[in-house]
Amino acid sequence: MRVSIDPSRYWPAIAAVSIIALVFLLVRCSDRAQDSAVAQAREAGAAQIREEAAGETLNRTMEAHNAAEVVRTDPVARRDGCLRHSRTPENCR
């Protein structure tokens, strides 16, 4: 005895499973795309913060360099710096 399976009886179930699988794949792809976009935005923000910090460091270094140059060349500023940092102010002349 041979049992025959009628494929026309199962097509609605096959179609439903196919649609569910397609929806699952679309949701999975969109989640990965969103995670990738978030990671790129986070990295871009971190790079911007590093760039701003480097610029601020450069500005402060230049200000310190200019202030040191003033102390080296200006006798009043040199004496004021000496008085500010010396334990024995008599040595500042």
CB of 57 closer than 8 Å to CB of 50: no
38-47, 59-68, 70-79: least confident range? 70-79
Opening angle at CA 59, ends 53 and 64, nearest 5: 125
Q: Render pLDDT for 45-61 as a digit per residue (tens, 0 to 9).
A: 999 999 999 999 999 99
Share of the chain above pLDDT 90, in %: 56
**Distance separating alpha carbons of residues 58 and 64, to the nearest angstrom:** 10
**Model pTM?**
0.49
> Residue 52's pLDDT is what?
94
Instruction: Write out pLDDT tens, residues 9-24.
Output: 788 888 999 999 999 9
Query: Confidence class of residue 3 from pLDDT cuts 50, 70 and 90?
Result: low
